């Protein structure tokens, strides 16, 4: 595991231990289970693809460890609305909201605010290391969670996926190399994310998706993640048969994120 990822996961383990003291596992679980009606994350992606459009998971991200602050004027509700609207023709299928505080300057309130301001399904983007966080994700309103294969062993991935499924949440499992991919393919979820960013070096190469894609069967919905910046990048992916995208920075640097989305994918 890379050093930064290792550091982040260590911090998460500490955060979860502290969170469990504020609210017990059982209470968090009860809170999560009391919430009904998730929004259909996988269905929203498939609906775009059925119309021959790109399925875009648009990210609400203020900062990152590699780039520092990406967007100073950061109002999650406005950003979410802008993504949901697009240019009136082309818009986002789903949202992804960073909730990690220490490394991405996110917070759970950002997810709540973004979700409350639109009708799109929302992925909680954070580093899951403990089943507690899956319940916590549902309790804060998430419709989907990210599982990063590099942070988890097989048994943890399976356990967390099963909890997410029991709460009617979708699971996006993220990989960066062939070994992680083979482990991720054991899960039931159709959503498979290939991160083009190497979390050891922060280097981005779209070739990562193109190389790993060959090993993914047609019943999976492949999501290419990170480093999609230009219409040429989009064309490269769509020509290769990749129709789902997770994009943050390219939109966060624009005045109107939704218009930037429509421009990139229109």
The length of the chain, given as a count of residues = 266
Catalytic annotation, pick one of 61, 62, 112, 117: 61
Instruction: Based on the residue annotation, tell me whether 249 is a catalytic residue of this protein.
Output: no
Opening angle at CA 223, ends 217 and 225, nearest 5? 135
Catalytic annotation, pick one of 64, 117, 195, 196: 195
**Cβ contact 74:98 at 8 Å:** no
Q: Which stretch binds ligand IGP (CB under 6 A): 17-25, 85-93, 183-191, 240-248?
A: 240-248
Catalytic annotation, pick one of 15, 225, 249, 259: 225
Residue 130 or 249 with smaller CB distance to ligand IGP: 249
Q: Which stretch binds ligand IGP (CB under 6 A): 18-26, 77-85, 175-183, 243-251?
A: 243-251
Residue 29 or 91 with smaller CB distance to ligand IGP: 91
Determine if 180 is a binding residue for ligand IGP (CB under 6 A): no
Beta-carbon neighbour count of residue 116 at 10 Å? 12
**Cβ contact 186:207 at 8 Å:** no
Residue 38 or 96 with smaller CB distance to ligand IGP: 96
Determine if 59 is a binding residue for ligand IGP (CB under 6 A): yes
Residue 56 or 139 with smaller CB distance to ligand IGP: 56
Q: Look at the alpha carbons of 210, 93, 234, 46 in this order and tell me if their dihedral is positive or negative.
A: positive
> In this chain, which of 99, 133, 195, 213 binds ligand IGP, going by CB under 6 A?
195
Across the chain, where does the E strand assignment appear?
55-60, 63-64, 68-69, 94-98, 122-125, 144-148, 170-175, 191-195, 221-225, 244-247
Instruction: Based on the residue annotation, tell me whether 26 is a catalytic residue of this protein.
Output: no
Catalytic annotation, pick one of 226, 243, 249, 259: 226
Catalytic annotation, pick one of 91, 125, 136, 249: 125
Retrieve residue 139's tokens. Answer: 């309790």
Determine if 76 is a binding residue for ligand IGP (CB under 6 A): no
User: Strands 122-125 and 94-98, how do they pair?
Assistant: parallel
Beta-carbon neighbour count of residue 13 at 10 Å? 11
Instruction: Based on the residue annotation, tell me whether 61 is a catalytic residue of this protein.
Output: yes
> In this chain, which of 15, 143, 225, 233 binds ligand IGP, going by CB under 6 A?
225
Q: How far apart are the first and last CA of the chain?
A: 37
Residues that are catalytic:
59, 61, 125, 174, 195, 225-226
Task: List residues near ligand IGP by CB under 6 A.
Answer: 59, 61, 125, 148, 174, 195, 225-228, 246-250
């Amino acid at each position: 595991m890379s050093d930064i990822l290792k550091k982040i996961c260590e911090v998460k383990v500490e955060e979860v231990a502290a969170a469990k003291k504020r609210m017990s596992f059982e209470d968090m679980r009860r809170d999560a289970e009391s919430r009904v009606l998730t929004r259909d994350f996988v269905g929203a992606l498939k609906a775009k693809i059925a119309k021959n459009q790109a399925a875009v998971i648009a990210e609400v991200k203020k900062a990152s460890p590699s780039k520092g602050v990406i967007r100073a004027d950061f109002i999650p509700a406005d950003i979410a609305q802008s993504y949901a609207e697009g240019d009136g023709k082309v818009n986002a299928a789903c949202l992804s909201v960073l909730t990690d505080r220490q490394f991405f300057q996110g917070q759970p309130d950002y997810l709540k605010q973004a979700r409350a301001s639109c009708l799109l399904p929302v992925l909680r983007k954070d580093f899951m290391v403990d089943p507690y966080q899956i319940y916590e994700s549902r309790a804060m309103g998430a419709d989907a969670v990210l599982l990063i294969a590099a942070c988890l062993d097989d048994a943890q991935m399976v356990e967390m996926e099963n909890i997410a499924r029991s709460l009617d949440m979708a699971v996006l499992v993220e990989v960066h190399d062939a070994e992680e991919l083979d482990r991720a393919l054991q899960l039931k979820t159709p959503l498979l994310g290939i991160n083009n960013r190497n979390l050891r070096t922060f280097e981005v190469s779209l070739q990562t998706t193109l190389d790993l894609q060959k090993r993914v069967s047609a019943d999976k919905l492949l999501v290419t993640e990170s480093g999609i910046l230009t219409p040429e990048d989009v064309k490269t992916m769509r020509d290769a048969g990749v129709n789902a995208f997770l994009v943050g920075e390219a939109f966060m640097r624009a005045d109107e994120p939704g218009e930037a989305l429509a421009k990139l994918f229109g």
